[in-house]
Chain A
């Protein structure tokens, strides 16, 4: 028989964007430790629905750690206590029998709560729309060898491009700053030849949009890096800082 545990959940319940929310306690017994965290929440919701109550709203899609949909703050850790792991990839064996598990939504003015654990992350989309792309003529893919890329840059760009835009960096930052996300998106282009023509205007536009969305300022706490399920490095933030300084001082 599979090993099971009992846990006490305290889940943030909030009817809609305007209603005040509060933590509601759910006692869960016989939780199979091989279940994922979201499967455990599915069980909670099944119980709630059978009782005719409103299920807990939470975001999820791929459930394999690649889409960036899921994410809640679990006992004060964005995506829970497991390093470099999305909430959907967290398993109940990470918890002990009798644990109290507090589950809260990402907290940031720029990420308003829509319902329960679901927040509106469209601020990230607007930052991308402000410059997180390359303007090129469409057409067939060019011959790969026609644009040489140093191996080191290719690796760093791939590391930055691992960002799934989940927002854990904002959630974990004491200042609710979005610098890790934005710097990863800036870096993946800044490191590659294709990103060079728009390198300066891109960083200026994306940072301006980031500031306008009401995220906090970076104080180099590095909580973002510790929380990131993809291990995005704060060296991307340093790269964005220097790109921004150069671009800001040299553009009219």
Chain B
């Protein structure tokens, strides 16, 4: 698809602002999702109640889901376009190139951390969201624990833990650059706050990676001893 020259949607800045806005929607979702997931530490009843509450939102849940799907599709569409244009803007590479600004690894790998977390997203949805929550996979110690049991059982598999931890680390990496980038892209930069925003972005990225990872680690440590 191409947009008329000089129109907003063909402009480098406006498209970046759409990437930033859709990114922000997903950041909101990720933080909410993490807070919900961490309820697993409070035991099967609270965790399952939370899942039921979400499911009982009905139409509202579908509105949120639609918003998220639109956001992710727009985000991918425009970042793919931006990344392609950026590599076309310098066809001859430098023999020696020495980046010197901060957070180099995260900045240079945005498209890869993005692709990685997208592959994971699909896996994650089929694993948990679309899975049957009453079946054999939810049975833990002869008890049907529904979503709690499903999550617990799946994290008993160390390979799945590894993939999950890698994936949430790539989310954290993406956000360590993404959050401050969002703020700059929409046009906020202030000598007093920006240095803190740069730090906060990295810290939030770490919090997201550690927060999500804590669940499989906890399951691996507890194994079959859930003392509720």
Contacts and interface: CB of A to CB of B under 8 A. Distances in A.
Given A238-B188, A245-B13, A109 B101 contact: no
Interface string B14-58: 111100000000000000000000000000000000000000000
Interface in A178-217: 207-208, 210-212, 214-217
Interface stretch (B64-72, B90-98, B211-219): B90-98
A219 B82 contact: yes
A241 interface: yes
B227 interface: no
A77 interface: yes
A116 to B, nearest CB: 14
Q: How large is the interface on A (under 10, 10 to 19, 20 to 34, 35 or more residues)?
A: 35 or more
Interface string A151-167: 00000000000000000
A98 interface: no
Contacts of A110: 89
Contacts of A239: 187, 189
A217 B85 contact: yes
B2 interface: no
B35 to A, nearest CB: 27
A208 B11 contact: yes
A227 B99 CA distance: 9
Most A Cβ at <10 Å: residue of B8, B11, B90, B100? B90
A74 to B, nearest CB: 9
A119 B14 CA distance: 29
A244 interface: yes
Contacts of B180: 220
> Which 4 A/B pairs are nearest by Cβ-Cβ distance?
A242-B187, A76-B98, A216-B89, A238-B189
Given A211-B10, A217-B12, A217-B82, 7 more contacts: A76-B98, A218-B13, A219-B82, A219-B181, A221-B107, A233-B189, A241-B16
Interface of B: 5-6, 8, 10-17, 82, 85-86, 88-102, 107-108, 110, 177, 180-181, 184-191, 194
